[in-house]
Structures are given as C-alpha cells and as structure tokens.
C-alpha cells in the first residue's frame, strides 16, 4: 500500500470508527457504575486524591481526569461517554501501528494479484473499528476503552524500545504503564506480560536490557502504594472481592463470545462460525504469514518469536487473572478487554492465510469472509445502539420525580441507587449532585435480607425495619432495580402488599416503579 493510499485509508477508517462510536452515544441510560464515575469525579477533590493511597480503590486517575472535563462541558451522559468514544477511535490507529511493527508480511508468501488489501495491520484496525464489543465499551462512561488504548500504546512503545531503544521511548513506556495502573488496578498485568515478552524476544531484546530494566525498576515506585493490600488480598483465607470464582472452562467461552458478538446474546452461534474460523486459521497457521526482515516498522525478530508475542498477549492475561482468582475472584470479561486487539490481529492473519492459498478463488473466499464479518458486526453493533440493554434508570427516576409528592416516602432497593436519582433529577451541570438532598426528599434504603438466615427470622427483621421507616407515611414509592442483590426473597414487597395497596406500577428495562398507599 502506497503512502498516499495508506493515509487516505487511515483517515477514512478513523472517521468511520469515530462516527460509529458517536452514533446514539447517549441512547442507553447510565448504569450505576457510570453514575459512580461522575460522583467520584465531582466530589470533594481531597476524597478523590486519597484514592491513590487507599486500599482497593480503583480508577482514581480516570476519575480525576474527568473532573476538568465536566467543569467545561457539564456532566451529561454524552459528556461522560465522549472520552471513551475518543479513546476507542485512537485505539484503531494504535492497532494499525502495533500490527505494522509486530507483524510485517512474509516476503516469501506469494499473494494473488489484487491482494494488496490483505494487509494484517490494516485488517486488524478495520476489525477493531467495527467490533461490537469494542464499540460497546467505546460508548460507556467507564475506563475500559481507555484501558485498551493505554495497553496498545504501551505495547507499541515496548516494541519500539526493543527495536531502537532510546531513553525517551522507555520513559514514555514508564509513564504510560504507570498511568494505566491508576486507571484500572488490573492493568498491572501489563508488567508481567511485557516481562514475558522480554524473554520471548531474546536474544534480540538483550540489546535493550538496560533501558527496559530501568523502566521496569521505575514501575516499582507507582506500584508501591498497592503492594501491601495486594499482599493482604492474595494471602487472606477470607473472600475479600465482590466476585464469585469463575472456572477456566467458563472464562474462555465467555471471553470468546463477548469479543465475537458483543451484547446481543440472542445471536445464533452458527452465525459466528466464520469469525471463529478466521481466528482459528490465524492461530494455527498465522506464523507462516509473518515476515522476518527488519525495516523501519518492525523489530528484528523471527516469525516464530513475533507469533509467540501475539499469542501470549491473548493468553497470558487470561492465565494471570485465573491464577489470581484462585485466591481472590476478580474475573469479569471487561477487566481484560485489552486482549481484544490480539484476537483481531489473529483474525487478520487468518484472512491472509485464506487469501494466500489456491489463487484467486481463495482471494474471493477471503473477501467474502471479510464482508460477512463486517456486515455481521455492523448489524450487531447497530442492534446494541437500538435496543435498551442497560437498566433504564433514566426513565424510571424521571417518572418518579415528575409524579411523586415531596411528602411521599421513596424506598430505593438497592440503596446505592440514590446517586442515580440525584443525577437524573439534576440539570447535568458541572456538579449534578449539588443541592440534591432537596430533590431526593424523604427516602430510605430497602432492607438487606440476603444474610443466609431463615425466612422467618428475616421476615421479622423486615417487619421491624419497614414499620420504623414508614411511620407517618401515607404513600410509598418503591424503585426496584437489581433488587435480588439485596432482597432475593422479595420480603420487602411482601410486607408492602400486606400493609398497603398497590395503586400504580410502571415497568422499564431492568427497573420497576411501584406506588403503594399504606393502610392506617
């Protein structure tokens, strides 16, 4: 691909990726973690800064970076999610840069005429731009799209450092990885991954051992505040995390399906067969498509070593998070979203494998597979934008705010939804929680009943609690969302049905609003 054509391609791809992430950016309601991101960003500055040294506090640098942004543009859903859309767009270009440096084409492989488009870096960037899983988190007001961008940037800097060295490159690597750790705790997995890469790239990496060694030593400084409580978590016999253990045989299919179809879980599995075929072709035969020559964009590594770097990028974080989970469960797919580019580059290698066999017929097959993937993923991403997938807290809380008298008691189950209520009744300015006590009014959290005690004991405790909080109340509004996390046996609802009359009920996606009139 000529320089001129490459620039046009990257420009058009960037516009496509940005537009695809901006489309209906604020369609889905915020879920409670996104509301938390706003709260952590705009609360007292000292509280957010203290997260840097407090145990198990995740994402302080992300929340801190949102603060000046909100002060300029406000805290609307669009404003919260725009940085993720921008990070997802930048990641498209970073996938191209990493693919170009890590996976140069093998010069001995004879490609059919007209196969110039079967370029691994370009195809990897295109697949990333359209992948529904990456698009979803490119439209979420959390740090996961930023995690992917930082992982890609750190990886590109590492490859550049091993190739050409230079203190500026290794200093930039140190800064990027340090920032990544304070954007999300599990980004610390970049350190062992790239340490593994250093040995896989031996002896070529030997030339840069001083620069990489100093960068690795420098990373101990930002990691120091985390050491002691990481040690406590790993050595404690008690479960300290909020996750349940996920076996490896469950982790792998969950990750594969998430990255293959996004959040449209009704997708028939056979529709995904071409995607898994391309991935399998890249995994099994992709090493034959990787070159071993040295140029301005590639490291002086053999094809086998480059292939080992790519596969370990995909598999090592999974293995590491599984090993950690043997002590303290921490797995959820989005925590290692940054392995996605490795899978997409393997798919791009798979397309090249197909195109390099059996002449023009194979090239046609590769084009069909690519068009199928592009079409399927575009359709799935569009469905994500059109269907209400997240809990519709926005509609539910605005309905309550419009119809509720300030003399009415509001019960939030779960109680943490108070911040969503404060947010969705605000003007979405720089601090939507300012003076929100008046908007929230008379309220209480629902009773927690999942202690594992008998139903008789819990029902008695619920009766005592509900009797206390509903004194002097004639009308009670109840907002139920994720209520089973708090009251799996619905003991609070049973009490309300016994002691009051259900006058109105509104159903939203994942949220139920009820209004009861209590009996004297």
Instruction: Give the mean pLDDT per block of 10 residues along the chain (520 residues).
Output: 86 97 97 96 94 84 97 98 98 97 83 82 98 98 98 97 92 97 95 96 88 93 83 77 89 98 96 98 95 60 94 98 93 97 98 88 93 98 97 97 94 95 97 95 96 95 96 96 94 96 96 95
Strand order in the sheet with 511-518: 443-445, 409-413, 475-480, 511-518, 500-508
221 upstream amide cis, omega within 30 of 0: no
| DSSP strand pairing (511-518 vs 475-480) | antiparallel
The DSSP secondary-structure symbol of 356 reads: T
| DSSP strand pairing (443-445 vs 511-518) | unpaired
Dihedral sign computed on CA atoms, order 264, 265, 268, 273: positive
| DSSP strand pairing (475-480 vs 409-413) | parallel
Token pair 């997708």 in the structure block, residue: 267
**What share of residues in the chain are helix, strand, coil (percent, to 5)?**
65, 5, 30
Whether the Cβ atoms of residue 88 and residue 135 lie closer than 8 Å to each other = yes
The DSSP secondary-structure symbol of 408 reads: S
Whether the Cβ atoms of residue 445 and residue 414 lie closer than 8 Å to each other = yes
Given this model, what pLDDT does residue 294 score?
54
Separation CA 396–CA 493 (nearest Å): 18
Token pair 């690597």 in the structure block, residue: 173
Torsion (CA) 241, 244, 248, 249 in degrees, nearest 10: -170
| DSSP strand pairing (511-518 vs 500-508) | antiparallel
Given this model, what pLDDT does residue 502 score?
97
Separation CA 346–CA 287 (nearest Å): 10
Torsion (CA) 274, 278, 280, 285 in degrees, nearest 10: 150
Given this model, what pLDDT does residue 447 score?
96
Q: Residue 65 forms beta bridges with which residues?
A: none
Given this model, what pLDDT does residue 293 score?
55
- Report residue 360 CA to chain centroid gap: 39
Burial (CB count <10 Å: 0-12, 13-18, 19+), residue 393: buried
Pull the structure tokens for residue 214.
Answer: 């100093």
Separation CA 83–CA 162 (nearest Å): 31
Pull the structure tokens for residue 58.
Answer: 């995740």
Separation CA 302–CA 493 (nearest Å): 65
Separation CA 501–CA 480 (nearest Å): 17
Q: Residue 511 forms beta bridges with which residues?
A: 508
The DSSP secondary-structure symbol of 421 reads: H
Separation CA 176–CA 154 (nearest Å): 6
Kindly state the helix (H) or strand (E) to which residue 254 belongs, with its residue range.
Answer: helix 248-261
Separation CA 205–CA 211 (nearest Å): 10
Secondary structure of residue 9 in the 3-state scheme: helix
Helices 340-355 and 273-285, packing angle to 10 deg: 80
Pull the structure tokens for residue 7.
Answer: 């620039």
Pull the structure tokens for residue 258.
Answer: 């998430």
What is the pTM (predicted TM-score) of this model?
0.95
Given this model, what pLDDT does residue 503 score?
96
Burial (CB count <10 Å: 0-12, 13-18, 19+), residue 109: middle
Domains identified in the chain and CATH numbers: 3-386 (no CATH), 393-518 (3.40.50)
Residue 340: closest CA among 82, 81, 147: 147
């Amino acid at each position: 691909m000529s320089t001129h054509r490459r620039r046009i391609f990257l420009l058009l791809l960037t516009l496509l990726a940005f537009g695809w992430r901006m489309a209906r950016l604020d369609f889905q309601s915020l879920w409670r973690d996104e509301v938390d991101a706003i709260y952590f960003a705009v609360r007292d500055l000292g509280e957010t800064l203290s997260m840097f040294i407090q145990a198990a506090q995740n994402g302080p640098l992300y929340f801190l970076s949102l603060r000046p942004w909100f002060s300029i543009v406000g805290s609307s859903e669009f404003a919260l999610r725009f940085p993720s859309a921008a990070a997802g767009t930048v990641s498209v270009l970073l996938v191209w840069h990493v693919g170009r440096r890590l996976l140069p084409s093998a010069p001995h492989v004879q490609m059919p005429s007209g196969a110039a488009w079967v370029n691994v870096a370009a195809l990897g960037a295109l697949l990333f731009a359209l992948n529904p899983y990456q698009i979803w988190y490119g439209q979420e007001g959390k740090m996961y799209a930023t995690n992917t961008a930082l992982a890609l940037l750190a990886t590109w800097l590492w490859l550049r450092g091993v190739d050409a060295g230079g203190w500026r490159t290794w200093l930039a690597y140190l800064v990027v990885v340090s920032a990544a750790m304070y954007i999300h705790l599990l980004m610390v997995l970049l350190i062992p991954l790239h340490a593994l890469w250093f040995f896989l790239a031996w002896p070529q990496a030997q030339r840069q051992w001083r620069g990489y060694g100093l960068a690795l030593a420098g990373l101990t400084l930002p990691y120091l505040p985390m050491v002691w409580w990481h040690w406590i978590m790993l050595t404690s016999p008690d479960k300290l995390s909020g996750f349940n253990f996920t076996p490896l045989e469950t982790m792998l299919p969950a990750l594969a399906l998430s990255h293959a179809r996004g959040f449209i879980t009704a997708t028939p599995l056979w529709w995904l067969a071409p995607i898994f075929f391309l991935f399998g072709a890249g995994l099994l035969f992709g090493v034959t498509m990787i070159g071993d020559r040295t140029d301005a964009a590639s490291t002086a590594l053999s094809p086998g070593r480059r292939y080992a770097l790519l596969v370990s990028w995909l598999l090592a974080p999974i293995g590491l998070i599984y090993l950690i989970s043997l002590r303290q469960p921490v797995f959820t797919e989005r925590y290692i979203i940054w392995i996605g580019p490795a899978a997409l580059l393997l798919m791009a290698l798979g397309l090249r494998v197909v195109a390099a066999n059996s002449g023009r017929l194979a090239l046609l097959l590769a084009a069909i597979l690519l068009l199928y993937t592009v079409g399927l993923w575009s359709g799935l991403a569009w469905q994500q934008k059109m269907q209400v997938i997240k809990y519709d807290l926005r509609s539910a809380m605005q309905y309550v705010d419009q119809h509720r008298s300030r003399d009415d008691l509001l019960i939030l189950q779960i109680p943490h939804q108070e911040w969503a209520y404060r947010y969705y009744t605000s003007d979405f300015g720089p601090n939507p929680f300012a003076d929100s006590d008046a908007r929230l009014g008379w309220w209480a959290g629902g009773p927690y009943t999942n202690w594992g005690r008998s139903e008789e004991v819990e029902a008695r405790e619920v009766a005592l609690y509900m009797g206390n909080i509903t004194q002097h109340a004639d009308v009670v509004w109840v907002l139920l969302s994720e209520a089973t996390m708090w009251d799996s046996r619905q003991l609070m609802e049973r009490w309300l049905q016994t002691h009051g009359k259900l006058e109105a009920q509104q159903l939203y996606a994942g949220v139920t609003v009820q209004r009861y009139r209590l009996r004297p």
